[in-house]
Amino acid sequence: MATYRVVLRQSEEGYSVSCPGLPGCWSQGATEEEALANIRSAISEYVAAAEELASDADGRVVEVAVA
């Protein structure tokens, strides 16, 4: 399980939330809880799509640790 930092902003329509570490990965919700649930789903889909794209490349996937 990975942990991602997200930015949660309240607006007139509810909440918007983005993941700065994953460009273009954002979501929203009527409540804070809904927005956070939605970004969890968006992050999961983003990572799955990125892994699929990486597997089609002429390379190999390698994990590295960052402190």
State the pLDDT at residue 67: 84
State the pLDDT at residue 28: 97
Overall fold of domain 7-56: Double Stranded RNA Binding Domain (3.30.160)
- Closest Cα to residue 29, out of 17, 18, 19, 40? 17
Local structure of 27: helix, strand or coil? strand
> Which residues are 28's β-sheet partners?
16
State the pLDDT at residue 30: 98
- Closest Cα to residue 33, out of 15, 20, 18, 45? 15
**pLDDT, tens digit (0-9, with 9 covering 90-100), for 20-66:** 999 999 999 999 999 999 999 999 999 999 988 887 767 777 789 98
State the pLDDT at residue 57: 60
State the pLDDT at residue 47: 95
Check: CB of residue 18 under 8 Å from CB of residue 26: yes
Give me 4's structure tokens.
Answer: 């991602």
Sketch the domain layout of the chain as residue ranges.
Answer: 7-56
